[in-house]
């Protein structure tokens, strides 16, 4: 998984991060109520910073805060670091996974995470690690995908062009991942099991109006970048021509992307020791 994101970092920043950004930035609106106006004295952690959408926006919004962007992909963080060079007070970037955060316990005031907790191998382990580094009373807000199997016509059109040319993904083992959330109830329950009290979740609809050209660029230069790069130049050209023709034949509604999102939030309780003891007893009972 990390290798894939290392390889796709540039295309991700150009073509996919802007699609996610409006929804991801809503997390900072939520965090406004939890932080001083300029963030003075606060530490903010972006878990799964990627190419830096939330990390950089947090550093701009709260210039007096200590902002940390954490991600296991060094390739993604390289893009974020480059973008951060123009900031007066650049954030700190740390290469690490969500379930192994190299920060002391109770050292973070607010944690945010956008479109990452579906990718981790164990979402409960990641949530518990985030809770560990939050100070008592510290808050988490995250966004991730809601399980949704509705077809997207633009995706099917490009897939058909690949199929017509007999281009197939190489056989690779699928990385372990937690997957999309089934419901807001499941999100809130996982937060509570991870020791967050209070905790809650709500749904949101992410929408993006692709054009035929912008979606084609996303597929060829980001999502399928490695597969396309392995093709001979004439086959690449045929694929692009066929995919463009199929996409151009779609109506605007068929290029309009809609996907369900879950916003989850929770607080590390002040009485953390009591919940920690409860978790330990529950773990012993499960054994």
Residue 31 contacts residue 139 (beta carbons within 8 Å): yes
pLDDT (tens digit per residue) in 38-64: 999 999 999 999 999 999 999 999 999
pLDDT at position 1 is 80
Q: What angle do helix axes 17-24 and 53-61 make, rounded to 10 degrees?
A: 40
How far is 134 from 130, CA to CA, in rounded Å?
6
Strand, coil or helix: 271: coil
pLDDT (tens digit per residue) in 156-194: 999 999 999 999 988 777 788 999 999 999 999 999 999
Residue 60 contacts residue 87 (beta carbons within 8 Å): yes
How far is 139 from 233, CA to CA, in rounded Å?
50
Closest listed residue to residue 9, CA positions, set 59, 83, 99: 83
Over 181-221, what HEC string results?
ECCHHHHHHHHHHCCCCCEEEEEEEEEEECCHHHHHHHHHH
Q: Is the pTM of this model over 0.85?
A: yes
Q: Could you give all domains of the chain from N- to C-terminal order, each with its CATH number?
A: 2-149+177-208+258-269 (3.40.50.150)
């Amino acid at each position: 998984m990390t290798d894939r994101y290392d390889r796709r970092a540039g295309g991700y920043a150009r073509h996919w991060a802007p699609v996610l950004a409006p929804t991801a930035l809503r997390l900072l609106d939520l965090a406004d109520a939890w932080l001083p106006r300029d963030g003075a004295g606060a530490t903010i952690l972006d878990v799964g910073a990627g190419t830096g959408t939330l990390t950089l926006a947090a550093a701009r919004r709260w210039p007096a805060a200590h902002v940390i962007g954490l991600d296991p992909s060094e390739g993604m963080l390289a893009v974020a670091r480059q973008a951060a060079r123009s900031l007066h007070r650049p954030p700190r970037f740390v290469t690490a996974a969500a379930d192994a955060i190299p920060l002391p316990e109770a050292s973070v005031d607010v944690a945010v995470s956008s479109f990452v907790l579906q990718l981790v191998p164990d979402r409960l382990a990641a949530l518990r690690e985030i809770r560990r580094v939050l100070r008592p009373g510290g808050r988490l807000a995250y966004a991730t995908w809601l399980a949704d199997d509705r077809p997207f016509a633009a995706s099917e059109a490009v897939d058909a062009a690949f199929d017509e040319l007999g281009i197939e993904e190489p056989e690779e083992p699928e990385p372990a991942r937690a997957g999309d959330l089934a419901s807001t109830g499941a999100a809130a329950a996982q937060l509570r099991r991870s020791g967050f009290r209070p905790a809650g979740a709500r749904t949101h609809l992410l929408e993006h109006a692709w054009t035929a050209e912008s979606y084609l660029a996303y597929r060829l230069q980001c999502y399928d970048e490695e597969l396309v790069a392995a093709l001979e130049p004439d086959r690449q050209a045929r694929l692009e021509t066929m995919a463009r023709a199929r996409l151009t034949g779609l109506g605007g509604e068929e290029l309009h992307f809609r996907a369900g999102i879950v916003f989850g939030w929770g607080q590390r309780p002040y009485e953390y020791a009591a919940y920690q003891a409860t978790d330990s007893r529950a773990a012993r009972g499960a054994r």
